[in-house]
Structure 1
Amino acid sequence: MLDMIDINSFPVFLLILVRVAAFFVTLPLFSYRTVPAHFKIGISFFLAYIIFYTVDAPPLSMDGSFLLLIMKEAAIGLLIGLLAYIIISAVQIAGGFIDFQMGFAIANVMDPQTGAQSPLTGQYFNIIALLFLLSVDGHHLLIDGMVNSFQFVPVTSFIPIGSESIVGFVIDAFNQMFLIAFQISIPIVGCLFLVDVALGIVARTVPQLNVFVVGLPLKIGVSFIVLIFFMGLYIVLVKNLFGYMFNVMRGLMQLFGGLN
């Protein structure tokens, strides 16, 4: 295998490997702790080896500018994967909104995939979203986007650091993530708000009734009932979420490549 790679083209192969490896550090699904590290290293190497023969780049010399290209490739992989990960985090944030209204906000669980605490409902939503992503071959689309990134941002070009269009694009994507999280959580949160209003009316009309004792199990029961009817809409919202994630990745690659 090494004999097939010209020694003069090794710097180009190294740049490709750095970008692919950086993608797998932050890319959703592939960056989780449950994915073994040797698998990430191995698939990064073989993908870089395949992409190497599809990239048309002149031979490079390992000088000071090559070090800047290494940093540029690492930044591209990390930023695009991180932005996609932030969009996926809308599911966790929606679960946090729901758990706060249900009374489950204090009962967080340890997420074995990320090693961080996550809300119960958010973890439930996240598992369903990941299974849906795998069922529609979304992981193949992520890898395909990684491969196509070399068409938007060649390995020998630099990205416009500090561009207002890139900063504004990232801020808009971040704001859109919170909007999607609100759309996912609003059916259950809205129903629980109506339950709170009803409990407030009952507390004023029947002062002898302890609404704090009745309210918590009532809100949990209503949440589960609404959640059952809400799952069909949730799948549609997750589908739109993944579509937006792929569009954000593509848009950021175009901005890195100097395309508006």
Structure 2
Amino acid sequence: MTAFVGTAVLVMTRLFAFFLVATPFALRGFSLLGRTAFALATAFVVLAAGVPAAEPDGTFPLAVLMNAFLGLALGFAVQLFFALFDVAGGLVDYQMGLAIVNVLDPRTGVEQPLLGQLFSLLALFVFFVSGAHRPLLAAVLQSFSVWPPDGPLRLDGPIAPALAAWTAQVFAFGALFAAPMAAVLFVVDLALALLSRAVPQMNIFVVGLPVKIFGALFTLGVFLPAMAAAFGPLFDRLAAMILRLSAGG
């Protein structure tokens, strides 16, 4: 019984740390009590599937810290993935001239760009509707077969380099996601610059802002279906990254 309780504590620690920071589950609408209950239910699944028993001994506190670290690392990788939509929205909003119109995001309680909120909400919608959360949770559960609850976890292992590489990929994905609208806005800026040289009397700031907003929204309407279709491969990359971390990087 003691071994079962110790194993349950370690499993719950890793899962709770993951759900505490992973964006789809760490939103303000998902209460701390709800996250705890979800982690507890998932822990029962893990324990029912069978994991190596962990006898509480002198190294038990260190095992708790190691499981918390691994859960936070996996959750941080997911949080980084959903940050790419904020990056894309911030890039486009800056070019549109709407960078000063950040509004409070009720999901996170922080200010975010307008298009960043749109992209994030669309990504969350597709994430759950398409069932992409299932392979993600399966990848998290697989970490228990690679790293048992009381198994050794080296902080100088491949987790940190894998997270650093994933961060670079996320920012690259965000730039590519914003590329169509950024390209159109660049052409609009170039046209407005030539127009200001040809007609110096024109107040280019008054004329340019609505033109850039219209150009960005028109491009968004054209490319939005393609952007939504691109979510599937991105979610596959996220699940593959979690599997990579679960397998030791």
TM normalised by structure 2 equals: 0.95
Structure-2 separation of matches of 1:154 and 1:96: 40
Structure-1 separation of matches of 2:106 and 2:45: 32
Deviations 1:45-73 (A, max 9, x none): 12212211222313402x32111000011
C-alpha change, 1:69 and 1:119, in structure 2 (3 Å) is same
Does the CA-based 8 Å contact 1:55-1:150 persist in structure 2?
A: no
Structure-2 separation of matches of 1:117 and 1:207: 37
| Structure 1 unmatched ranges of 5 or more | 1-5
Q: How high is the sequence identity, in percent, across the aligned residues?
A: 29
Structure-2 separation of matches of 1:48 and 1:58: 14
Of residues 205, 209, 216, the one that matches 1:212 is 205
Q: CA deviation at 1:243?
A: 1.5
Structure-2 separation of matches of 1:240 and 1:230: 16
* 2:52 aligned with 1:31: no
Does the CA-based 8 Å contact 2:51-2:144 persist in structure 1?
A: no
Structure-1 separation of matches of 2:119 and 2:174: 11
Query: 2:105 maps to which residue?
Result: 111
Structure-2 separation of matches of 1:95 and 1:190: 14
Q: CA deviation at 1:178?
A: 0.8
Does the CA-based 8 Å contact 2:74-2:140 persist in structure 1?
A: no
Count the aligned residue pairs. Answer: 249
Query: SS at the partner of 1:12?
Result: helix
Query: 2:2 maps to which residue?
Result: 7
Query: 1:129 maps to which residue?
Result: 123
Structure-1 separation of matches of 2:193 and 2:111: 32
Query: SS at the partner of 1:89?
Result: helix
Give runs of ≥4 in structure 1 deviating > 6 Å.
none
* 2:239 aligned with 1:246: yes
Q: CA deviation at 1:83?
A: 1.1
Deviations 1:20-52 (A, max 9, x none): 111110122111110122211112112212211
Query: 2:150 maps to which residue?
Result: 156
Amino acid at match of 2:146: F
Structure-2 separation of matches of 1:140 and 1:107: 36
Query: SS at the partner of 2:49?
Result: coil
Amino acid at match of 2:217: F
Structure-2 separation of matches of 1:12 and 1:135: 33
Of residues 15, 22, 40, the one that matches 2:17 is 22
Does the CA-based 8 Å contact 1:95-1:185 persist in structure 2?
A: yes
Deviations 1:217-238 (A, max 9, x none): 1101111111100102211332
Q: CA deviation at 1:136?
A: 0.8
Structure-1 separation of matches of 2:36 and 2:171: 33
Of residues 174, 177, 180, the one that matches 2:173 is 180
Structure-2 separation of matches of 1:225 and 1:81: 35
* 2:57 aligned with 1:67: no
Does the CA-based 8 Å contact 1:21-1:40 persist in structure 2?
A: yes
Q: CA deviation at 1:146?
A: 2.2
Deviations 1:193-217 (A, max 9, x none): 1001001111111212221111001
Query: 1:226 maps to which residue?
Result: 219
Query: 1:40 maps to which residue?
Result: 35
Q: CA deviation at 1:78?
A: 0.7
Structure-2 separation of matches of 1:143 and 1:186: 31
| Structure 2 unmatched ranges of 5 or more | none
* 2:99 aligned with 1:87: no
Deviations 1:240-260 (A, max 9, x none): 2211111111111111xxxx6
* 2:51 aligned with 1:56: yes
TM normalised by structure 1 equals: 0.91
Q: Which moved more, 1:179-188 or 1:33-42?
A: 33-42
Does the CA-based 8 Å contact 2:10-2:149 persist in structure 1?
A: yes
Q: Which moved more, 1:140-149 or 1:203-212?
A: 140-149
Amino acid at match of 1:132: V
Does the CA-based 8 Å contact 1:15-1:155 persist in structure 2?
A: yes
